[in-house]
Chains A and B, each alone.
Chain A
Amino acid sequence: DSGVTQTPKHLITATGQRVTLRCSPRSGDLSVYWYQQSLDQGLQFLIQYYNGEERAKGNILERFSAQQFPDLHSELNLSSLELGDSALYFCASSVGPGEIDEQYFGPGTRLTVT
């Protein structure tokens, strides 16, 4: 158990809908990262927050957004969902801003868009 929690574990929704994925980092970790794992693209970095502020952005679509709240939990919002958004979404956390910090991964949220 990495100490990172993600909810829900599974999510099934229809195209065009909007969902919110939630992540609670390990106690004491200030950074939260979001990754998408799909069969064709593999594991891709989406976005990072550090202590409430956006720190780095990867291949995140404009339909997707995220935030980190004062209690350090983070939410990833996915809107206007398409079939291709079906994937496993991982959250990871680390103590610091990331350059040399180990990232600990949550169990993931499996999103299925029908």
Chain B
Amino acid sequence: GEDVEQSLFLSVREGDSSVINCTYTDSSSTYLYWYKQEPGAGLQLLTYIFSNMDMKQDQRLTVLLNKKDKHLSLRIADTQTGDSAIYFCAERGFYGGSQGNLIFGKGTKLSVKP
């Protein structure tokens, strides 16, 4: 079955770079996603990467994909206190009833210290 794993916590200082890592199991995934959840809010799509890409950059965000190792990372440059949130990695489900739908990791809570 499909599974997505990520570390639960990350703490950084304001102005540093943050790197959030994720591993996934389904090599058939066509898209991989990063979502952000602020306290008391829903999930906000931050960025996504197509499986035939190695890297995608979007302003302060850089996504790296190592398809061989099934490893995805999200780098946030110049991290700000407003970036404090939970970050979810997700892949598209492929098998059975999950086909086409999102399989999420448990989320990484990013704490940014001033």
Residues on A facing B (Cβ under 8 Å): 2, 4, 33, 35, 42-45, 48, 55-58, 90, 92, 97-100, 102-108
Q: Give 1 or 0 for each of B10-44: 1 = CB within 8 Å of chain A CB.
A: 00000000000000000000110001000001111
CB–CB A58/B107 < 8 A: no
Whether A97 touches B45, Cβ cut-off 8 Å, given contacts A42-B106, A43-B88, is no
Residues of B within 8 A of A33 (CB): 101-102
Q: Is the CB of B92 within 8 A of A99?
A: yes
Interface pair B97/A43, CB less than 8 Å apart: no
Chain B: residues with CB nearer than 8 A to chain A? 30-31, 35, 41-45, 48, 88, 92-93, 97-107
Query: Measured between C-beta atoms, what is the minimum distance from A55 to chain B in Å?
Result: 8
Whose C-beta in chain A lies nearest to the C-beta of B98?
A58
Q: Which residues of B contact A98 (CB under 8 A)?
A: 100-101
Bound together, the chains give a CA A67 to CA B36 distance in angstroms of: 28
Q: Is the CB of A2 within 8 A of B44?
A: yes
Bound CA span A101–B46, Å: 14
With known contacts A43-B88, A99-B92, A100-B31, A105–B42 Cβ distance under 8 A = yes
A56 touches B44 (CB 8 A): no
Which residues of chain A are near B44, meaning CB under 8 Å?
2, 105
CB distance from B93 to the nearest CB of A (A): 7
